[in-house]
Amino acid sequence: MKPLAEILFEDEFLIVVNKPSGIPVIPTRTAEMDKSLKYYYKKKLGEIFIVHRIDMETSGIVILAKDAETHRLLSLMFQNRQIRKFYVLLTRGLPRPDEGQIDLPLKKLNNQNKSVVAKDGKSASTVYKVVETFGNFALLEAEILTGRHHQIRVHFQNIITPLLVDPIYGDNAFFLSEIKGKKYRKAKHEEEKPLLSRVSLHAHKLEFKHPMTNNSLELAAELPKDLRAVINQLRKSV
């Protein structure tokens, strides 16, 4: 069976992988049953427990437990904020200040795969810093102190620096012509293909103590090829 994701860490208790974009953590429809991380590792290992999720179009690091007790302990660690979660993202617009914390309560809309800022929502906190800028675009690292639905995506949309690509809260795609402007040339009758057409968000790093061995773990998932390609083009534009 072809590997579904790069393994970053594995022992008898848990497995940590770098999930590609487009792969769901759990099945979202019957048609995707055989494409999810849960299906793949259940077939491979016999038993698997989903500890946490990232969106299907988000790439990056995911922990899966191999037994019920490890699952219980890891779930408590997430609930008690004992696992630090870092993301890399690209935005349209430059967040001000360059480093800060966004505290906006979020509420998931009924029967919709969408969240909004709402006074009666659950508290949500995102700490961020700008890593690099490219004109009116920015590369950031963000740590989520809470784990609300679409937290980073909604937080940055609400401070007027939405993700570079976000089909739900912003633009559907990013094109080379956006940064090349009049210098961009394409063949006649040829439709421009997007540089990126999935959410520009990557679950980059987790820091935590192993629930069974108490060893400190700091695990990082390398940026995927599509995001690296966009960053390289943005660097060329400045």
In the block, tokens 């360059």 appear at: 98
Query: Are 128 and 142 within 8 A, CB to CB?
Result: yes
By three-state DSSP, how is residue 37 classified?
helix
* CA angle, residues 21, 228, 10, in degrees to nearest 5: 55
Q: Which CATH number fits domain 6-236: 3.40.250.10, 3.90.330.10, 3.30.2350.10, 3.40.718.10?
A: 3.30.2350.10
Query: Are 22 and 63 within 8 A, CB to CB?
Result: no
197-212: per-residue pLDDT in tens? Answer: 999 999 999 999 999 9
Q: Where are the domains of the chain?
A: 6-236
Give yes or no for a cis peptide into 27 (omega within 30° of 0).
Answer: no
Query: Which DSSP symbol is given to 96?
Result: S
Q: Is 103 a catalytic residue?
A: no
29-46: per-residue pLDDT in tens? Answer: 654 556 889 988 998 888
**What's the CA gap between 90 and 77, in Å, rounded?**
28
Catalytic one among 11, 55, 120, 226? 55
Consecutive 10-residue averages of pLDDT for the chain (238 residues)? 85 96 82 76 90 95 97 97 97 96 95 92 97 97 96 97 96 89 69 92 98 97 97 92
**E strands along the chain, which residues?**
6-10, 14-19, 49-50, 59-65, 84-92, 99-103, 106-108, 115-117, 125-134, 137-144, 201-209, 216-220
By the 10 Å C-beta count (0-12 exposed, 13-18 middle, 19+ buried), 147 is classed as middle
